[in-house]
């Protein structure tokens, strides 16, 4: 069954995480993605490890399936001409070179859109193409620091902490996929492509969501709360007798239902805890008393009891527990593809569940330049595109 983006060609000049994550999403949805690297392979994640398997890093495999690989020397006149030739028949081009680099090579939007007015051109940079920081490179760690993310993670004792995954890259990859798909829809109406200017910094600020809204409304600078929620209590990690469990009480009814399970009945009648604003104001005492209660039972016991009361909860799982969990299997959140060097390769599957145009797993993460020898492929694809 053809994917939702079947027939869309994407030139992927990006590397590391944000751009490759976006293009993998497009590839999963059926797009023909051509990954462009320098000869020998210039995506840094190819070399980020361990772990490696037969020379291929786990990091690289995470975001590069459903792509063909071509190696092109963009510093040469011939290499840049290859990109122009490909751009003439492409639908989308995504890159994450520093601001101004593509223009220096005469591969900027203005140049390529003259060759192909239908081209959707997505630039992903650390700080965008305007503003005083536009010339600077941006890495997730730096963006987490500058965007406020680190200031709200951790505790007063630990100091600022980054999130364990490069979340600003992930946010930007998701925003890039959304923007490209929106531009494809707009092109159906206008017949024209357009430029997309995406910054990791902007996407990280956008993803602050309610924490940013809290500050903009109140003027109060948020403090790190560890695993607690700035607006809701109790909404935290508690220690059961056999390990940590998250309990997320979203309203007053759920709080009273939780209290009905506790031996300390005074928690449910204490006037300080009757409403969420009161619980937020007295979070330290409430959470201390709740911890005394939660440690009396196992995580499984609490899961059963809380589920019966309709209270959201879940154990803090390690990755081995996650991938053994029957819910992970039921949702088909892993997929095994055949790789020409590794053999069977298990990857995290796409979370996108489309009934009529499902995602597909057509190509494993490619070796650098794996498709260079398909001499007739480019000409054949170019001719077929001209006939559309």
Asked whether residue 60 falls in the same domain as residue 140, the answer is: yes
What are the contacts of 178-183 at 24+ separation with CB within 8 A? 179/122, 180/10, 180/22, 180/26, 180/92, 180/94, 180/120, 180/122, 181/5, 183/92, 183/120
CA 245, CA 230: separation in Å to the nearest integer? Answer: 19
CA angle (275, 277, 278) in 5-degree steps: 65
Which sequence positions are flagged as catalytic?
169
Domain boundary among 273, 294, 316: 316
Residue 1: what pLDDT? 80
pLDDT score of 384 more than 80: no
Q: In angstroms, rounded to a whole number, what is the distance separating the alpha carbons of residues 172 and 175?
A: 5
- Checking if the pLDDT of 123 tops 90, the result is yes
Residue 151 domain-assigned (yes or no) = yes
Is there a single domain that holds both residue 12 and residue 97? yes
Tell which residue, 31, 35, 24, has the closest CA to residue 170: 24
Nearest alpha-carbon partner for 23 in 73, 65, 72: 65
3-state class of 18 per DSSP?
helix
Q: Is the pLDDT of residue 387 over 50?
A: no
Q: What is the DSSP letter of 368?
A: T
pLDDT tens, residue by residue, 241-264 = 999 999 999 999 999 999 999 999
Cβ-Cβ contacts under 8 Å for 92 (sequence gap 6 or more): 8, 9, 10, 11, 26, 31, 119, 120, 121, 122, 180, 183, 184
Span 279-301, mean pLDDT?
A: 96
Average pLDDT over the chain reads 94
Q: In the predicted model, is pLDDT for residue 218 greater than 50?
A: yes
Buried (b) or exposed (e) across 293-327, using 16+ Cβ within 10 A?
A: bbeebebeebbebbeeeebebebeeeeeeeeeeee
Average pLDDT over residues 122-140: 95
Cα atoms in the Cβ-side hemisphere of radius 13 Å centred on 66: 29
DSSP string, 73-100: -TTSHHHHHHHHHHHTT-SEEEE-PPTT
Count the residues in the chain.
Answer: 388
Q: Please give the share of the chain, as a percent, with pLDDT higher than 90.
A: 92
pLDDT higher than threshold 70 for residue 383: no
What average pLDDT does the segment 310-328 reach?
A: 96
Pair (195, 257) in one structural domain = no
Residue 220 is assigned to a structural domain of this protein: no
Output the pTM of the full model: 0.92
Confidence of residue 385 (pLDDT cuts 50, 70, 90): low
pLDDT at 174: 98
pLDDT at 382 over 80: no
Q: Of 289, 316, 343, at which residue does a domain stop?
A: 316
Does one domain contain both 34 and 146? yes
How much of the chain exceeds pLDDT 70, in percent? Answer: 96
Say which DSSP state 370 is in.
T
Last residue of a domain, one of 265, 287, 316: 316
Largest CA distance in the chain: 78
pLDDT tier at 380, thresholds 50, 70, 90: low
pLDDT at 73 (0 to 100) = 95
Residue-range definition of the domain harbouring residue 293:
233-316
Rounded CA separation 234/289 (Å) = 11
H helical segments located in the chain: 18-28, 58-62, 77-87, 101-104, 109-115, 140-146, 167-190, 200-206, 209-218, 252-259, 266-269, 276-281, 283-294, 299-308, 319-324, 326-330, 375-386
- Domain of 112, CATH number, reads 3.40.50.10540
Tell me if 385 is assigned to some domain.
Answer: no
Q: What is the mean pLDDT of residues 317-340?
A: 96
119 and 18: one domain?
Answer: yes
Are both 116 and 158 inside the same structural domain?
yes
List the CATH number of the domain containing 309: 3.30.1540.10
Contact present, 378 and 83 (Cβ < 8 Å): no
CA distances in angstroms from 197 to 31, 73, 113, 139, 339, listed in the order given: 21, 24, 15, 17, 34
pLDDT computed for residue 102 by the predictor: 97
Task: Note the pLDDT of residue 182.
Answer: 98
Whether 328 and 310 share a structural domain? no
**379 falls in which pLDDT band (50, 70, 90)?**
very low
Give the whole-angstrom CA distance, residue 320 versus residue 318. 6
Mutual orientation of helices 167-190 and 18-28 as an angle, nearest 10°? Answer: 50
**Does 147 share its domain with 246?**
no
pLDDT of residue 246: 97
The reply to whether 179 and 253 lie within a common domain is no
Residue 369: per-residue pLDDT? 87
pLDDT at residue 370 in the model: 86
- 284-304: average pLDDT: 96
Q: Which of 33-37, 151-155, 210-214, 374-378 has the lowest mean pLDDT?
A: 374-378
CB 198 within 8 A of CB 120: no
The band of 378, judged by pLDDT with boundaries at 50, 70 and 90, is: low
13 with 143, same domain: the answer is: yes
Count of structural domains, the chain: 2
Going by pLDDT thresholds of 50, 70 and 90, the confidence category of residue 375 is very low
Alpha carbon distance, N-terminus to C-terminus of the chain: 20
């Amino acid at each position: 069954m053809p994917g939702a983006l079947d027939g869309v060609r994407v030139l992927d000049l990006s590397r590391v995480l944000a751009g490759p994550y976006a293009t993998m999403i497009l590839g999963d949805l059926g797009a023909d993605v051509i990954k462009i690297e320098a000869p020998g392979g210039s995506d840094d994640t190819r070399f980020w490890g361990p772990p490696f398997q037969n020379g291929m890093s786990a990091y690289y495999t995470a975001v590069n399936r459903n792509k063909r690989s071509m190696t092109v020397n963009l510093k040469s006149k011939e290499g840049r001409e290859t990109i122009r030739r490909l751009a003439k028949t492409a639908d989308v081009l995504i890159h994450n070179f520093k601001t101004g680099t593509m223009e220096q090579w005469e591969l900027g939007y203005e140049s390529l859109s003259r060759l192909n007015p239908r081209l959707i051109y997505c630039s992903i940079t650390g700080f965008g193409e305007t503003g005083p920081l536009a010339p600077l490179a941006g890495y997730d760690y730096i963006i987490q620091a500058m965007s406020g993310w680190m200031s709200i993670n951790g505790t007063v004792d630990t100091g600022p902490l980054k999130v364990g995954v490069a979340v600003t890259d992930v946010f930007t990859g998701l925003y890039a996929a959304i923007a490209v798909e929106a531009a494809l829809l707009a092109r159906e109406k206008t017949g024209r492509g357009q430029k997309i200017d995406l910054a990791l910094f902007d996407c990280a600020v956008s993803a602050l969501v309610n924490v940013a809204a809290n500050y903009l409304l109140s003027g109060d600078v948020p403090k790190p709360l560890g695993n607690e929620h700035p607006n809701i209590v109790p909404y935290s990690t508690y220690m059961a007798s056999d390990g940590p469990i998250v309990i997320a009480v979203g309203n007053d009814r759920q709080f009273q239902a939780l209290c009905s399970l506790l031996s300390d009945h005074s928690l449910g009648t204490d006037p300080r805890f009757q409403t969420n604003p009161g619980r937020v104001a007295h979070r330290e005492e409430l959470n201390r008393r709740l911890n005394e209660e939660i440690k009396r039972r196992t995580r499984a016991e609490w899961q059963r009891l809380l589920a019966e009361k309709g209270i959201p909860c879940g154990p803090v799982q390690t990755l081995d527990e996650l991938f053994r969990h029957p819910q992970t299997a039921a949702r088909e959140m892993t997929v095994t593809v055949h790789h020409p060097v590794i053999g069977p390769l298990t990857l995290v599957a796409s979370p996108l569940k489309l009934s009529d145009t499902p995602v597909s797993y057509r190509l494993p993460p490619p070796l650098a330049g794996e498709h260079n020898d398909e001499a007739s492929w480019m000409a054949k694809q170019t001719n077929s595109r001209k006939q559309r």
